[in-house]
Amino acid sequence: MKNPLLLVGSFIICCCGNSQNSSTDYPEVDTDAINMELAAVTYAETITTNELKEYLYTFAGDDFEGRDTGEPGQKKAAEYLKKQYKRMGIPSPLGGDDYFQEIPASFFRGGIKSSENVLAFIEGTEKPDEIVVISAHYDHVGVDGNGGVFNGADDDGSGTVSILEIAQGFVKAKKDGLGPKRSILFLHVTGEEKGLYGSKYYTENPVFPLANTVTDLNIDMIGRIDKNHEEKDKNNYVYLIGSDRLSTELHDISEKMNSIHTKLDLDYTYNAENDPNRFYFRSDHYNFAKHNIPIIFYFNGVHEDYHKQTDTADKIEYDLMAKRAKLVFYTAWEVANRKDRIVVDGIGKE
Ligand SMILES: [Zn+2]
């Protein structure tokens, strides 16, 4: 944090200066930045409860057989995501019709078959080489011996379909001539449940250099309410993990976007250094963080249906999920459009 006394001092000097000088000394107003901030609201509103619901009832339906890594259900889910991006007119960074980053079976342990990450991309208008990643895993744990499906609606159907809605917001903006200044990569990773394989593979075989990767905003479970927040006055929340660890600026942007727009209670309980759950290390963002890329992990906490066949689409809190998805959208929008790349000032402090 900056020293508050210094801030007060410079404010006084500034005021005296203005009273003596002509009005031409006022700082220039960045109208472009203001217009972009206003536009963010328009495109955030394209994230709707109904669309999230429509996507999730399909994506977490029995047809996708629990999306087990390397199995037919996961392949079906990958095709479904590709179809949505094509429909929205969002290209793949891999070129042509290929939206899949193939991961060979040899990369996995335990007899898992080859699998794929799904990638879609909106190129930045001013700094196309700087990449903002929005990620979520789309695999889950499959079926049991009796054919019972683990639908994984919250884990992580919620993150997956939120990305589709966020992507829609950005592509609509782009079509209106208000595309992001930095590029955005929508990264649907596989193999998370088996050991964060998809994000590990991506960060070891990045499509864009990690040095140019500005942040990873990772969503894993944002559709439910955990035990700590069941009471009515407590359920407007999301856990944020890692936001301040590598970039104080990223944390400040996230806080600011929330206070202006989404007004969720940001719960940092699981961000504590000594948190016994160690969630910071337990989802895909960690593979970015270990390369010193600032991350935020968005999470609703665990609940009674976690990794059970009862994690189904009918139990999702769609209004709350839309609000959480909007927070990710606003944060990505600001990081992608602001003048300077966010600073990385937390290396070694973790
Ligand atoms: Zn998960």
What CATH number is attached to the domain comprising 79? Answer: 3.40.630.10
**Residue at 13 is within a domain:** no
Sign of CA dihedral 301, 75, 49, 304: negative
User: Residue 195's closest CA among 274, 281, 120?
Assistant: 281
Whether 7 is covered by a domain: the verdict is no
Q: Which domain holds residue 294?
A: 29-337
pLDDT tens, residue by residue, 144-177: 999 999 999 999 999 999 999 999 999 999 999 9
144 preceded by a cis bond (ω within 30 of 0) = no
**Does 292 fall in a domain?**
yes
Nearby residues for ligand 1 (ion, Cβ within 5 Å): 155-156, 220
Q: What pairing do the DSSP bridges indicate for beta strands 115-122 and 100-103?
A: antiparallel
User: What distance in angstroms lies between residue 34's CA and the mean position of ligand 1's atoms?
Assistant: 36
Name the band, by pLDDT with cuts 50, 70 and 90, for residue 1.
Answer: very low
Helix, coil or strand: residue 280: helix
Calculate how far, in angstroms, residue 172's C-alpha sits from the geometric centre of ligand 1.
28
Per the structure, the count of domains in the chain is: 1
pLDDT at 6: 37
Find the 99 Cα to ligand 1 centroid distance in Å.
Answer: 22
Does some domain include residue 231?
yes
Average pLDDT over all residues of the chain: 93
The CA 306 to ligand 1 mean position distance, Å, reads: 9
In this structure, how many other beta carbons lie within 10 angstroms of the beta carbon of residue 123?
15
Average pLDDT over residues 75-88: 98
Asked if residue 24 belongs to a domain, the reply is no
**Could you tell me the distance, in angstroms and rounded to a whole number, from the CA of residue 220 to the centre of ligand 1?**
5
User: 287 CB contacts (<8 Å, ≥6 apart)?
Assistant: 196, 199, 200, 202, 203
CA 193 to ligand 1 centroid distance, Å: 7
In this prediction, residue 16 carries a pLDDT of 41
CA nearest neighbour of 152 among 338, 345, 316: 316
Residue 346 lies in a domain: no
Pairing mode of beta strands 237-241, 295-299? antiparallel
